[in-house]
Amino acid sequence: MNRGEQMMSADGRTKEFTASANYLVLPIQNGGPNGKMALYVDDTIILDYELALATGPETTDWYAFFSIERFKGSPLRVEASSATDEGFALVRQSDTIPGEDAFYTERMRPQFHFTSKTGWLNDPNGLIYDKGTYHMYYQHNPVALPWGNMTWGHAVSTDLVHWEEQPKVLFPDAKTGTCYSGAMFIDHQNQLQRKTGDKDVLVAFYLRTETGLCLAYSNDCGQTFTDYEDNPVLTHDGERIDTPRPFWYEPTKRWIAPTYDFFQNDKGERRRCVGFYSSENLTDWQFESRVTQDGWGDELCGCVDFFQLPVDGTPDAPSSSKDSAAASMKWVMIMIDGSYIVGRFDGHTFYTLEGQPAVAEDRVRTLVSPLCYYATQTWHNMPDDRRVQITWARSGNHPRVPFNQQMTLVSELTLHATDAGPQLRMNPIKEFETLRVKTHEWTDIVLKKGENPLSDLEGDLFDIEVEFAPSANSQTVFDLRGMNVTYDAATETLTVCRASFPLAPIDGTVRLRILLDRTSVEAYGNDGAVYVPYVDFPAEDNMSISATCDAGEATVSTLRIHELKSSWQRD
């Protein structure tokens, strides 16, 4: 076989060659005729996708790509159905990705929010810090802009701001199913007995749709994964359960996995819940308890996260007894919409702070507007016990680009004492400030209708910090390229584009942190008590920003506007 040899098969087209380049590239036609493509290495199927191959160069919208570098020297075979001769001729090996010179420079590409180079993305998965590297895996369709073909994409960072996309790691299979959401952990004790070198094994625990909850392990620092041969390791009465979030619980010496589960209530009705399972060896799991709910609740119990946080950041504060210091640590369960329950956990059952087994109805109202916020997950094994999260910024389709969807800004979660009990706050990570390149500052100014102190500023990347006292019935508006952030004093409501959320002043003052990217605005209110993200697609030539009042006045004590550079820009 030689590179580029092509032949016809009974049901489509086949191309055979010896792997000698970095990538296999595939021409994609958005909305083109549906077909299938499979890649074999030594007659073992590696990739199996439904896709729309372009019919030729003139219909090629962009190129999907897969890393084949690790297969160099091996015989490869590509089989495709519903492919034309001209289109299939564009399926080839390449040391570069066609169009990659433009990646991250496109006008409608976010500049400090993560997007995949090409294809669709949604839920973040397998977030983990290991040996100086932050890993982010994510739900990914590498061969189309709509959802489908669920694969685990992969990106790494050393600071949670600058990301580098890596080869994809978990792939769909016709027999075992596609790769849905899950989490990652480090097998420090080698309980899975798959360690082959001197590095601890990274283990993914995820749903494979036709199989159940599965394990996959990596001996190369998360670059490639091998599915555990005895999958699935966890099912419910033979049916699938979803999105596990495992962690080691030292008091009971067991792994704990909160999962997206189901049960029958006392009326015999099937309901979703968060089920807790435990294991001492990662492969044999037993049911412990559940957090139930009255409704079906698919959108509530999916992709839950569960972790500990200190109240007011003082887990090790000086005290007269160890018990009082430990009492400052609380367990937090975040639901898919950002609502959450604060309580305690004994390795078997999650209790409210009042001591009752927690149910979904115990959750605190979310601090997040959920329109563009979905499937939060926090990084496992973070330095200094920080609790840092990212979510899918669910939105409409990104226009005129070879990718679809983006992640939110990375935020840090903290827990604070209030008269109503411990409550979460969410703020941008400190590392994000490294993107600031120039600051403009105003103090003691009054915003009025028809006046704009920002009239000399233009741009599409800003970090805005403002503290103001709104007058009664005023409407304070920050117009950012046509994407408005509005505070209505009469209703005490913060609105970002079309997403609104209650925000009461504190001692008559409102504090906002507003992040503007090319296709999104995120507003954090009153030091992270409220978070309102929104993805929108403004006119590309609109670079104007303004601060004014449509009604009444706002007395601004401090306004700082930081111009930002792109996180994809390398110094």
Provide the CATH number for the domain around residue 74: 2.60.120
Q: What is d(CA 214, CA 297) in angstroms, rounded to the nearest whole number?
A: 24
Q: What is the pLDDT of residues 314-368, one digit of tens each?
A: 654 433 333 444 458 999 999 988 999 999 999 999 999 999 999 999 999 889 9
Going by DSSP bridges, is the β-strand pair 119-130/403-404 parallel, antiparallel, or unpaired? parallel
Q: What is d(CA 161, CA 514) in angstroms, rounded to the nearest whole number?
A: 17
- Whether residue 223 contacts residue 169, with contact meaning beta carbons closer than 8 Å, is answered with yes
Last residue of a domain, one of 72, 102, 132: 102
CA dihedral 224, 229, 230, 234 (to 10 degrees): 20
Q: What is d(CA 163, CA 137) in angstroms, rounded to the nearest whole number?
A: 12
Residues 346 and 457 in one domain: no
Residues 440 and 327 in one domain: no
Q: Which residues, given as ranges, of the chain have pLDDT below 70?
A: 1-11, 238-239, 296-299, 314-327, 570-571
Last residue of a domain, one of 80, 102, 124: 102
Residues 358 and 457 in one domain: no
Q: Is residue 400 part of a domain?
A: no
Q: What is the DSSP letter of 110?
A: -
User: 3-state DSSP call for residue 366?
Assistant: coil
- Whether residue 109 contacts residue 99, with contact meaning beta carbons closer than 8 Å, is answered with no
Last residue of a domain, one of 74, 102, 130: 102
- Whether residue 454 contacts residue 546, with contact meaning beta carbons closer than 8 Å, is answered with yes
Residues 441 and 349 in one domain: no
Burial status of residue 78 (CB atoms within 10 A of its CB: 0-12, 13-18, 19 or more): buried
Spell out the residues 6+ positions from residue 205 whose beta carbon is closer than 8 angstroms to its own.
182, 183, 184, 185, 213, 214, 215, 244, 246, 257
Give the pLDDT confidence score for residue 67 in this predicted structure.
98
Q: What is d(CA 417, CA 313) in angstroms, rounded to the nearest whole number?
A: 10
C-alpha distances in angstroms, 365 versus 359, 362, 395, 529, 562?
Answer: 14, 9, 22, 11, 32
Tell which residue, 337, 514, 316, has the closest CA to residue 427. 514
Give the pLDDT confidence score for residue 5 in this predicted structure.
42
Terminal C-alpha separation, the chain? 45
Separation of CA 352 from chain center = 28
Tell which residue, 392, 517, 400, has the closest CA to residue 106. 400
Please tell me the chain's helix, strand, coil percentages from 3-state DSSP, rounded to the nearest 5.
5, 50, 45
Residues 441 and 552 in one domain: yes
Q: Is residue 131 part of a domain?
A: no
Give the pLDDT confidence score for residue 386 in this predicted structure.
96
Residues 356 and 440 in one domain: no
CB atoms within 10 A of CB 383: 10
- E strands, 200-293, are 201-208, 212-218, 226-227, 247-249, 254-264, 270-279, 286-291
Burial status of residue 473 (CB atoms within 10 A of its CB: 0-12, 13-18, 19 or more): exposed
Could you tell me which residues are beta bridge partners of residue 424? Answer: 415
Q: Is residue 390 part of a domain?
A: no
Which two structure tokens, joined as six digits, stand for 300?
Answer: 């509530």
Give the domain extent around 289. 251-363
Q: What is d(CA 453, CA 349) in angstroms, rounded to the nearest whole number?
A: 55
Give the pLDDT confidence score for residue 1 in this predicted structure.
35
C-alpha distances in angstroms, 87 versus 21, 53, 561?
Answer: 20, 7, 49
Residues 456 and 560 in one domain: yes
Residues 439 and 325 in one domain: no
User: 3-state DSSP call for residue 533?
Assistant: strand
Per the structure, the count of domains in the chain is 3
Residues 544 and 450 in one domain: yes
Q: What is the CATH number of the domain that holds 448?
A: 2.60.120.560
Tell which residue, 449, 403, 401, 410, has the closest CA to residue 431. 410
| pTM score | 0.94
